[in-house]
Structure 1
């Protein structure tokens, strides 16, 4: 059995990938109540701590083979002296504290792609050189979720720290184009995850349901088609959507239908009002995927003749599927809160690929 600690666990995307590879969570910590409730609904409340990681006592931290998580960066600020005791780095200090107490063989950090250019990353390297992580060897780099069978292009920084010998990052299993003789599979399109769901959601609301977690009542538990909720766009929005083909965006919309801010910005923000493609991975699923004004989140179904167009943004269920969550995953929170959980999660397929790779070295 491989024991796992997940810090800043969110709704459990990273844990889901590691559990799929046989790991057993023994502790998770999450500060946001709806996200902690979602995690607990799927993996149990008994080992889930809802609260500030600073309040987690050493006695509450078990030994573990693996520690995973993504400590938030404090705005990638210039930290001057790179002092580990700078109050802006308290969350990083807490991550390192848990690693020190749990003494894992391996820890894995995931973060945004620009993390390796941040002062926080330099602080992490300094801890390996002459600090709390001297027993660990680090390997790090960027991984694209699409390269591991996820139907989403999402680039993340992954850091693997090991005290059982260096562990390189996993090699891709998929590629954008499959070359002759290559063992790599082609990228997965959105059709592999969301095709076949009802084209027109039956409702715009989550069911009326409440559950108790951590002594607090939260909306939920929801699963499956509960999350297949639509919106009520204006006619102007529908007219805009109708002009956007798969792979297109705001530049396909007639000028007279554009808001002034877009008319006066002839370049940039190319994914705004974008439509997905059935045969290609989506862009990064962010926390406001239900707003086409925020990115390429229009449903991929569209035809030239105009007989079979689905003019709406993707639903919560479709976003969760593109993140790789299983159909029976349980969710807690309001629509906005669940959307935030989905968008902030680590793609399950990427986490699973890392877990599969790391376990070989344990």
Structure 2
């Protein structure tokens, strides 16, 4: 193409997918996000002039511009392993709004990302039906699971990626990284060490700066950048005792009986990664929206030495560390409270995965 390809980002969140696509020269012309603080974060990084904060159904057909590519991840709580798995959840119908935008914007390519189980859902079959004889019958679909670690992200996060194209079938991009690089001719997986080892081990604050900004006529906390997000928590003494027992790669099964809460003492199986500690030389597991709670996953800082207790960092990862494991750039600005920003980080598509898709798709555009 002789000019920058144009981009629409739906259900944009804080702009994780846009971050990956702009890395390869895409020009965002419209974004839609209903959450105020996520929309403010998007605006802080890409401009307020082209983002619609509000219900996607409120965007009129006449306000949808042409675009080369449409991207987005319709809300997926009904499909998530952590969700209700309710196929009648109204949030599962929002992909139809996505298709309305595709119909009107007429992109050459669209990309849908969702949780790994989406490709086995009834809603996905309806999407395929629309490609056969419905709203997107001009598009040929490619679908499957991509592992973020295989594209240079220091995180083992699996997503369903659907590429729709009316310029010929577009396969998924080939992995650039792998667990066994000598066998595949790829680069080795990037690790937690690659992402966060340069940061101070012990944050010097537990709070965000007291700053405010204005977006969409509303005052929101922020903008926060870089070390603003490197804040700790104030765990209870019993929590610190638990953290101290858990080695890299370990979890709740490493705790002695006297430190086990009753619910874990009575449940001897399942949930192996909770109260887990990351490992320096491996990718992290999935960064979810509550990464600041160690009982929710493998979120303890990886620094721990068996024979040197003084070299143990007994805390959960900070918001900045989580953002870096999602591959957000150091210059990224954030708006919202601690919990709101954590939700934005955990809900985002890993930037490196989005960038790999963007680079691949760009080569097919006419």
Q: What range is the shorter-chain TM-score in?
A: over 0.9
Q: How far did 1:90 drift?
A: 4.4
Residue pair 1:73, 1:120 contacting (<8 A) in 2 also: no
Within a 5 Å distance, the mapping from 1:240-255 to structure 2 comes to 240-255=242-257
The aligned residue for residue 320 of structure 1 is: 323
Residue pair 2:290, 2:343 contacting (<8 A) in 1 also: yes
Within a 5 Å distance, the mapping from 1:46-85 to structure 2 comes to 46-73=49-76, 75-76=78-79, 77-78=86-87
User: What CA distance in whole angstroms lies between the structure 2 residues aligned with 1:90 and 1:294?
Assistant: 28
Residues 308-354 of structure 1: CA deviation (Å, up to 9, x unaligned): 01000000000000000011100000000000000000000000000
Counterparts in 2 of 1:312 and 1:89: CA distance versus 1, 3 Å: closer
The aligned residue for residue 153 of structure 1 is: 156
Q: Does 1:12 align with 2:15?
A: yes
Residue pair 2:75, 2:91 contacting (<8 A) in 1 also: no
User: What CA distance in whole angstroms lies between the structure 1 residues aligned with 2:350 and 2:77?
Assistant: 23
Structure 1 gaps of 5+ residues are 80-85
Residues 64-123 of structure 1: CA deviation (Å, up to 9, x unaligned): 0000001124624446xxxxxx96654122111100110000000000000011111011
**Secondary structure, in 3 states, of the residue corresponding to 2:182?**
coil
In the TM superposition, structure 1's runs of 4+ consecutive aligned residues that sit over 6 Å from their partners are: none
The aligned residue for residue 171 of structure 2 is: 168
The aligned residue for residue 83 of structure 2 is: none
**Secondary structure, in 3 states, of the residue corresponding to 2:180?**
coil
Q: 2:133 aligns with which of 108, 111, 130?
A: 130
Counterparts in 2 of 1:257 and 1:340: CA distance versus 1, 3 Å: same
Q: 1:96 aligns with which of 95, 99, 102?
A: 99
User: What CA distance in whole angstroms lies between the structure 2 residues aligned with 1:73 and 1:16?
Assistant: 21
Counterparts in 2 of 1:89 and 1:175: CA distance versus 1, 3 Å: closer
Q: Does 1:36 align with 2:57?
A: no
**Secondary structure, in 3 states, of the residue corresponding to 2:135?**
coil
User: What CA distance in whole angstroms lies between the structure 2 residues aligned with 1:359 and 1:319?
Assistant: 28
Structure 2 gaps of 5+ residues are 80-85
User: What CA distance in whole angstroms lies between the structure 2 residues aligned with 1:93 and 1:326?
Assistant: 32
User: What CA distance in whole angstroms lies between the structure 1 residues aligned with 2:62 and 2:227?
Assistant: 41
**Secondary structure, in 3 states, of the residue corresponding to 1:307?**
helix
Residue pair 2:11, 2:34 contacting (<8 A) in 1 also: yes
Count of residue correspondences? 355
Residue pair 2:76, 2:115 contacting (<8 A) in 1 also: no
The aligned residue for residue 288 of structure 2 is: 286
User: What CA distance in whole angstroms lies between the structure 1 residues aligned with 2:188 and 2:93?
Assistant: 42
Counterparts in 2 of 1:242 and 1:179: CA distance versus 1, 3 Å: same
User: What CA distance in whole angstroms lies between the structure 2 residues aligned with 1:234 and 1:74?
Assistant: 32
Within a 5 Å distance, the mapping from 1:213-232 to structure 2 comes to 213-232=215-234
User: What CA distance in whole angstroms lies between the structure 1 residues aligned with 2:165 and 2:303?
Assistant: 45
TM-score (norm 1): 0.96
TM-score (norm 2): 0.95
